[in-house]
A and B are shown apart, each in its own frame.
Chain A
Amino acid sequence: MSDPKTMLRQRVDELLATYDPATVSATEFLGARFDAGLAWVHFPEGHGGLGLPQEYNEDVANWLAEAGAPEPDRSRNGIGLGMVAPTIMAIGTKEQQEKYLRPLYTCEEIWCQLFSEPGAGSDLAAVATKAVLSGDTWTVDGQKVWTSGAHHAKRAILVARTDIEVPKHAGMTYFLVDMEDPGIEVRPLRQITGEAEFNEVFLNGVKIPDADRVGETGEGWKVATTTLNNERVAIGSGADREAGHIGVLAEKWRKYPAIRSEAAYHELMHWWIEAEVTRLTGERLRQQLEVGQPGPEGSAMKLAFATQAQAITGLAIELDPDHGLLYDDWTMHRPDSTDFLGRDVGFRYLRAKGNSLEGGSSEILRNVVAERVLGLPAEQRLDKGIPFKDVPR
């Protein structure tokens, strides 16, 4: 038997020989790649993989990139690729895996995430959106918020409350939802930047077949945690020096001597060094993951990224006041994807404010570091062991 690398190289060559990236559509190529088990080689055969160790994915990606082959669009279907796929693979039914993984991978079906609610932000387990089972169909009513891409998503992952008589973590269930259900209304949620990168999603009598439940009824918290853990893995590892906001500012500094001053120099260098040590920490984390020893640094690093993004963009505005007093465009848009570094300095400053809120606020992350990494005692919980319906909200 040949070693995995040789076998993979052969498969890649066959794929490229049969489906020339230069002539077939991206969708067709990705479908063929999926069928050849080269989508994610650590998934089982038949689900886009070959049951091989995860590390071989990098080889496959490199070879295909050399050949100019398309990759799935992570900026549009990041939730599908990064969160839904691993969750369905880990916990979904065989039918769910067969039905959803391939179109997700080819990006024929874009996914969005229906977790946060107006009353459930930091306290994600406080979701109040209700799902009631009748026969083998669930009916869902409620409101979700901070949903990116909902206006072009075909499907969604949803956490809903299915039992208000038990404590809050025990009464949630996880579903896969068809966004074309007539009970779903998507409204753009305009942000501080003027854009509407996110949406509010209203659910009125939305129907979900029980077959689209993921995990057992009442185990939604556990499933959602699996999904969210996939979100925070390997954050920012292996980035280049001066990647991100600091690079943009350093370039400007080099290009425009007029913005330089001694005081600003020391502040710029302060943040340059902060960004550099975070980069080194990420690089070390990457090396740890490579040898199978992931560290607990990820949550703390997200704190550093948010702090730095906010401070550096704020400084960038101050360094060039006459420019910082202006803005590029307040017109309401619905962008297809998020680009923290795109657009002008004012946008970058305002958008960076979200970095300490989205994907776990800095306050929640500090709790996580304190309790799970340092082992400090947990906060007193006032909602522990109390039926959801009796919890103050």
Chain B
Amino acid sequence: MKYSVFSLLREAFRGHAGWTPAWRKAEPKSEYDVVIVGGGGHGLATAYYLAKVHGITNVAVLEKGYIGSGNAGRNTTIIRSNYLLPGNEPFYEWSMKLWEGLEQDFNYNAMVSQRGVLNLYHSDQQRDAFARRGNAMRLHDVDAELLDRDAVRAMVPFLDYDNARFPIHGGLLQRRGGTARHDAVVWGYARGADLRGVDIIENCEVTGFDIAGGRVTGLDTTRGSIKAKKIGLAVAGNTSRVASLAGLRLPIESHVLQAFVSEGIKPAIDCVVTFGAGHFYISQSDKGGLVFGGDIDGYNSYAWRGNLPTVADVMEEGMAIWPGLGRIRMLRQWGGLMDMSMDGSPIIDRTPVAGLYLNCGWCYGGFKATPASGWCFAHLIARDEPYEVAAALRLDRYATGALIDERGAGAQPNLH
């Protein structure tokens, strides 16, 4: 059923009895043309574009829990395309473009809200680094504005301009950046894929691969074996574990990133603000909760929960820019598993195993990539060649040295 104000009105008058499941609870078939492992945003978007753009509909998405149970369901929802390096920027901008038409495309309100992303800078040196990034964005035809302190103050007057340890000097603003309702993105893609025939199979964990003569032919799951011509991995924090089932060892570590939400309050902050002298970002959800986060916990973990020093650090950083938060209460904290890559940038590529494709390395920033990641991964799987904007996101770049290291932090995932 198409969602619209009319369908909503119609159902309202008949007790909402006519709504049907947003996606079928599909049972696994014995064989698919393409199996996508991982029912997060990326996996579901891949299936959606495989069906919609490439007409490949004999597709299954296998999810070990409920769809969106991974990072897609627990991120701070920031979307932006304010990257520095040519390997990244066109890709994220393509994502931004897809966000801009997404809801009409998949007929689901994902609350894509282009409320602006403001990165604060706190020194002249940082200003110049942000200028470099802003200029790089403009070279890619992406909007970027460098604000001075007064302009920042006009936008977000309640920050600490007078008594801060790291005074605010200005900010880099991308007005087209913003947020989206993370769960709705998952559900919208799921519904869109399902409508086009894709089987979404939940509670189905992949436990092994069938590989013959260097080519993948199927996989084992907790719900039986499934044959597949092509298999795409989009399992984020579980990438190393799943890839190891196919004998791959990757430039990836899994780290916990925490996020937090405050009690709901009346609108207090209209855009996304990030702190440049630390690692902190904050925005307000449409429900009123302040959604915020900071750095990863910084050590390998599969525990889906965070540790205390990071909590303190994040909340101190929040107070450092916004002293009025003192009496606001943090309501809930949680953690996700980041697939931290060795240069902080993602990988969308083939693997040494024929027919097995890899989508990983999203670090703490893959939510914004969801549409483009799905688009490009679908293209790669369907055509066996990279989509242009993702051409640099290769697996062999660590060996060749063609790294995409936005932070210049080197081969240490927890520094990215």
Partners in one complex: no
**Could you tell me which A residues sit within 8 Å of B by CB distance?**
none
